[in-house]
Amino acid sequence: MTRVPVASSLPDFPWDSLAEAKATATAHPEGIVNLSVGTPVDPVAPVIRAALASVSAVPGYPTTAGTAELRAAAADALDRRYGLAGLAPSAVLPVIGTKELIAWLPRLLGLGRDDLVVIPELAYPTYEVGAKLAGARVLRADGLARLGPERASLVFVNSPSNPTGKVLGVDHLRKVVDWARERGAIVASDECYLGLSWDAEPVSILDERVHGGDLTGLLAIHSLSKTSNLASYRAGFVTGDPSLVAELLEVRKHAGMIVPLPVQAAMTAALSDDVHEDEQRERYRRRRDVLLTAVRGAGFTVEHSEAGLYLWATRGEHGRKTVQWLAERGILVAPGDFYGPDGTDFVRIALTETDERIETAAARLR
């Protein structure tokens, strides 16, 4: 047999193509403002760090299912923060950051060559990677019209969206759920940015108005990376249809996909405390106000961007040209084509820099 390296079936890592623009931006005499990635820059809250340290002497293996405290804290947080009442803690499963879950979900669910995975037309790149790791086909479609007669096994939705910041309303999500139910497809809703809304109220797939009291076939994926600044800890969870979550747990137990105990304790603290989360949201709100005004003032058109951590902006030219224009001003952003062919004329501008760097970017744009 000839071995085929898995990497050969995957797309090129898009950030490699930004090296030249990064060098240009870095050469700015007052330094680079890097708005190309959504990585948090504010410190982890003391209450979370204390929880992490509190179990650092424990030597034994943690459980894949997570501690009872963590599962209860996640269910409580979804109820308190988003009004999602009645979720069973036993249907919460911690993951080693949600990128890990997304990349392996199609495989963990048993999808293969005969299956189709539907992803948003403009999408976080890992949905496609996940489908490819399972050997499944991928189709980009935001609406049912684009799907035509295709039969899908798994549909990813992402509201608020990365990269566009678009929010899908109850009606849209309900249509997706109804469509998937009629065809036996699973809906995985990536709710990474649900807690970061500015001009629209995002809705979870687990909202009663969306599913009408039946969680069958539904998974909600929640990251603590952005709302609690825990990207470095690798902390997230999945919940929804109890039988699907039990199935995922079974495979993940065999595969050793276990969240470290100190991170489980940190997640429990983060999910039990809303103060640090509110403070972080307000930091991003202020940064967004500064950047949005500056970007518009510089002649950009900003579309969507009503929630989440990005401004989806265009100067009416190819996004790569805009990347270069901004790089010459010491500002690095991501070209829209990273996220799908429909993004060619856009750039994605992240809000994840310090107040000082955001002010610097705004001053350079003025």
Q: Which residues bind ligand PLP (CB under 6 A)?
A: 38, 97-99, 102, 124, 158, 162, 190, 192, 223, 225, 231, 236
DSSP 129-198: HHHHHTT-EEEE-SSHHHHTT---SEEEEESSPTTT-----HHHHHHHHHHHHHHT-EEEEE-TTTT-BS
Angle in degrees, 0-180, between the axes of helices 275-297 and 355-365, rounded to the nearest 10? 10
From CA 235, how far away is CA 135, in angstroms rounded?
A: 27
CA distances from 182 to 153, 175, 217, 238 (A): 12, 11, 11, 23
CB of 226 to ligand PLP, least distance (A): 7
Joined together, the tokens standing for residue 125 give 């790149």
**Nearer residue to ligand PLP within complex by CB, 33 or 129:** 129
CB of 34 to ligand PLP, least distance (A): 14
CB of 163 to ligand PLP, least distance (A): 8
CB of 28 to ligand PLP, least distance (A): 25
Q: Which residue has the tokens 């640090």?
A: 276
**Nearer residue to ligand PLP within complex by CB, 189 or 272:** 189
CB of 160 to ligand PLP, least distance (A): 9
CB of 92 to ligand PLP, least distance (A): 15
Name every residue whose Cβ is closer than 8 Å to that of residue 163 and which is 6 or more positions away in sequence: 122, 124, 310, 312, 334, 336, 338, 339, 343, 346, 348
**Nearer residue to ligand PLP within complex by CB, 222 or 315:** 222
Cβ atoms within 10 Å, residue 366: 9
**Nearer residue to ligand PLP within complex by CB, 38 or 66:** 38
From CA 349, how far away is CA 254, in angstroms rounded?
A: 40
From CA 354, how far away is CA 41, in angstroms rounded?
A: 6
**Nearer residue to ligand PLP within complex by CB, 304 or 315:** 304
**Nearer residue to ligand PLP within complex by CB, 38 or 335:** 38
**Nearer residue to ligand PLP within complex by CB, 262 or 330:** 262
Angle at 89 between CA 227 and CA 86, to 5 degrees: 90
CB of 317 to ligand PLP, least distance (A): 25
CB of 196 to ligand PLP, least distance (A): 11
Joined together, the tokens standing for residue 213 give 């009291």
**Nearer residue to ligand PLP within complex by CB, 268 or 360:** 268
Cα dihedral 110, 113, 115, 120 sign: positive
Is the Cβ–Cβ distance between 205 and 222 less than 8 Å? no
